[in-house]
Chains A and B, each alone.
Chain A
Amino acid sequence: MPRIVVDVMPKPEILDPQGKAIVGALPRLGFTAFSQVRQGKRFELTVDGEVTEEILAQAREAAEKLLSNPVIEDVVNVEVVAD
């Protein structure tokens, strides 16, 4: 069944405390090449049947209205993934 993937990231200007903690942990494991980590969220919305334009529009609206908070987050990607 096809899924619609929605990716949400903290806004660039919002400090991401979780990303900061992760970037601090990486060098302790020997991963020294990464200067910054930002942690976001990936949602997978399963659709029973074909993903129409209307359904995709619904996913975009849900992404703005519920899946993200525009004060602190950006919806960076909404795409259909076929299995």
Chain B
Amino acid sequence: MSATELPLIGDYSTPVAALSGARIGVVTFPGTLDDRDAARAVRLAGAEAVSLWHADADLADVDAVVIPGGFSYGDYLRAGAISRFAPMMSKIIDAANSDAKLPVLGICNGFQILTESHLLPGSMIKNDHLKFLCRDQVLRVENNATAWTNQYAKGEEITIVLKNQDGQYVADEKTLDALEAEGRVAFSYVGWNPNGSRRNIAGITNAAGNVVGLMPHPEHAVEAGFGPDHTGTDGLGFFTSVLTHLVGGQK
């Protein structure tokens, strides 16, 4: 890490020494926007960020993967629909479903790719108000037992950036009932539902807790001076959570 990249994160302590070996992959598709921010968040949390190219089929021995936001393939066909069939995605799907249960985080367009991949249920359609929306969004952590949320308290409210056009989470009633009953709603919108998502769902997890997807962007809230309200670093917990998970120190 260069001097200009020193994190301005106040008293947030990251046990760097114990975690320095972790390698977190960040996938880039044509049209991905937030891969650099995601890689930066990974580094700020104390891990090594590893660039993964969508057309490659080598996971480069990473310990976890972030599928970042953007407009892969211009959202053509459906958001995430074409990216889902990239060679790298086949590897990620296999690894996420394997006994090793590779931790995978899908943010925004990454979440859409995970639903198109059937790693997570449901789908995203256009926001109910039809507009692109960018705002600081309050979320409630509903499940803090996943690989990506274990550093939060259950019920904790966090503020991170939301920015999307196709952010309305939909699934059939049976699926929604099951998600709620099994504690697989990872994050809910608080105060205002910004896109018409069913049951205020902002993010979900698979049953094993290794695959998490959400529409808002934790990677944009990891460094004081640049996050919500110019101070917010509520998103950093995603990345420290997966490191804690990887070293087996899940609380």
Interface residues of A (CB under 8 A from B): 10, 13-15, 17-18, 21, 66-67, 69, 71-72
Q: Which of B78, B121, B126, B172 contacts A17 (CB 8 A)?
A: B126
B18 contacts partner chain A, Cβ-Cβ < 8 Å: no
Q: Which of B78, B115, B129, B172 contacts A13 (CB 8 A)?
A: B172
Q: List the 5 shortest-distance A-B pairs measured between CB atoms, nearest first.
A: A71-B123, A17-B126, A72-B123, A17-B130, A17-B128
The size class of the interface chain B forms with chain A is 20 to 34
Q: Which of B77, B126, B127, B171 contacts A71 (CB 8 A)?
A: B171
Interface residues of B (CB under 8 A from A): 77-78, 81, 85, 115-116, 121-123, 125-130, 168, 170-172, 196
Which residues of chain B are near A18, meaning CB under 8 Å?
126, 130
User: Is A21's CB under 8 angstroms from B130's CB?
Assistant: yes
Given contacts A13-B172, A71-B170, list 12 more A-B pairs with CB under 8 A.
A14-B125, A14-B170, A15-B125, A17-B126, A17-B128, A18-B126, A18-B130, A66-B77, A66-B85, A69-B81, A71-B115, A71-B122
Q: Which of A66, A67, A72 contacts B170 (CB 8 A)?
A: A72
30 example contacts (A-B, Cβ-Cβ < 8 A) are as follows: A13-B172, A14-B125, A15-B125, A15-B128, A15-B196, A17-B125, A17-B126, A17-B127, A17-B128, A17-B129, A17-B130, A17-B196, A18-B126, A18-B130, A21-B130, A66-B77, A66-B81, A66-B85, A67-B77, A69-B78, A69-B81, A69-B116, A69-B123, A71-B122, A71-B123, A71-B170, A71-B171, A71-B172, A72-B123, A72-B170
